Amino acid sequence: MIRTRLCDLLGIDYPIIQGGMAWVSTAELVAAVSNGGGLGIIGAGHMPTDILRQEIRKTKELTDRPFGVNLMLLTPHIEELIQVSLEEHVPVVTTGAGNPSTFINKFKEIGTKVIPVVPSIALAQRMEKVGADAVIAEGTESGGHIGELTTMVLVPQVVDAVSIPVIAAGGIADGRGLAAALALGAAGVQVGTRFVCATECTVHENYKQKVLGAKDRDTTVTARSTGHPVRVLKNRLTREFEQMEKEGVPVEELESLGVGKLRLAAKEGDVDHGSVMAGQAAGLVKNIMPAAAIIKEMAADAEKTIGKLRDIITAGNPIKV
Interface residues with ligand TUI (CB under 6 A) are 22, 45, 72, 74, 96-99, 117, 119, 123, 138, 144-147, 228, 230, 277
**Shortest distance, CB of residue 56 to ligand TUI, whole angstroms?**
19
d(CA 123, CA 39): 23
Sheet holding 40-43, edge to edge: 16-18, 188-191, 166-169, 135-138, 113-118, 92-96, 67-72, 40-43
For the CA atoms of 162, 179, 138, 55, the dihedral, rounded to the nearest 10 degrees, stands at -110
The b-or-e profile of 238-249 (16+ CB within 10 A means b, else e) is: beebeebbeeee
Q: Which residues pair with 277 in a beta bridge?
A: 232
Shortest approach of ligand TUI to residue 193 CB, angstroms? 12
Q: CA-CA distance, 293 to 33, in Å (whole number)?
A: 10
Closest CA to 144 of 286, 273, 294, 22: 22
Question: 46 near 79, Cβ under 8 Å?
Answer: no
What b-and-e string marks burial along 187-212, b requiring 16 or more CB atoms within 10 Å of the CB? bbbbbbbbbbbbbbbebbebbbebbe
Nearer to ligand TUI, 45 or 68 (CB): 45
Q: How far is the CB of 284 from ligand TUI (least distance, A)?
A: 19
- Whose Cβ is closer to ligand TUI: residue 49's or residue 101's? 101
Q: Which is nearer to ligand TUI, 45 or 165 (CB)?
A: 45
The values of phi and psi at residue 110, to 5°, are: -100, 10
Give 45 or 175: the residue with its C-beta nearer to ligand TUI. Answer: 45
Closer residue to ligand TUI (CB): 68 or 119 = 119
CB of 305 to ligand TUI, least distance (A): 27
- Supply the minimum distance, in Å, between the C-beta of residue 100 and ligand TUI: 9
Nearer to ligand TUI, 75 or 206 (CB): 75
- What is the closest distance, in whole angstroms, from the C-beta atom of residue 245 to ligand TUI in the complex? 15
Residue nearest to ligand TUI (CB): 144
Nearer Cβ to ligand TUI (125/199): 125
Torsion angle (degrees, nearest 10) of CA 253, 254, 257, 258 = -140
In the complex, minimum distance from the CB of residue 266 to ligand TUI, in angstroms, rounded to a whole number = 11
